[in-house]
Structure 1
Amino acid sequence: MEYKLRVQSLIDEMANVVCDFIQASESGFNDGWVPATYIKDQLELNKSAYPQGNKIDNKTGWFFATIARHLQDENKVLFKKIGGRSYYKTCD
């Protein structure tokens, strides 16, 4: 059980760092909505999800999506989608 608690604690810590980054970035964007692509690029959150040597090995945004959902579940960020683009903003 200790491992599970440690992993959950690290996820919380990573999510809080991402949330702090979103909040710090809001002033640079219209209405404070930060593009998900900007967040992923700046924090290098596009990661490979496939085992090494697998036929498919491309980096995707799955890792950021997991963190962003965690932040939504904690009511720390808001989400909106315009066309094919996603945006995030911290809750007031």
Structure 2
Amino acid sequence: MHKLIEVLAFELLQEIKERESKHKERWVPVASINNDLELKFVAVPKENTQYGEKGWLFSILARILEDKELIEFNKVGNSSFYRTSP
């Protein structure tokens, strides 16, 4: 499973790279990636309560890339951004 998740992480890395040229200082907004790639999911049993879909999958994939020092994180107000590491 870890290998499959890592494959997804590297797909996310490619997506961030492709989007960087369109954003100031290459900071790609997480919200746009989550929306465009439909990465938000409900992650609790049906009988439990979660209010809407969450971006937990993106967070897992991004953390894998951060641990490998392949991307950098930035937060401005309530917005989160990533870019590839130099």
TM-score range, shorter chain: over 0.9
Q: Which has the higher contact order (CA 8 A, sep 6+)?
A: 2
Backbone CA RMSD of aligned residues? 1.1
Q: In percent, how many aligned pairs have the same letter?
A: 34
Q: Residue 58 of structure 1 is aligned with which of 42, 49, 52?
A: 52
Q: Which runs of 5+ in 2 are unaligned?
A: none
- Whose helix proportion is higher, 1 or 2? 1
TM-score, normalised to structure 2, is 0.92
Structure with greater Cα Rg: 1
Structure 2 match to 1:39: 33
| CA displacement, residues 4-26 of structure 1 (integer Å, 9 cap, x when unaligned) | xxx11101100000000000000
TM-score, normalised to structure 1, is 0.87
User: In the alignment, is residue 12 of structure 1 matched against residue 14 of structure 2?
Assistant: no
Q: Which runs of 5+ in 1 are unaligned?
A: 1-6
Letter paired with 2:32: Y
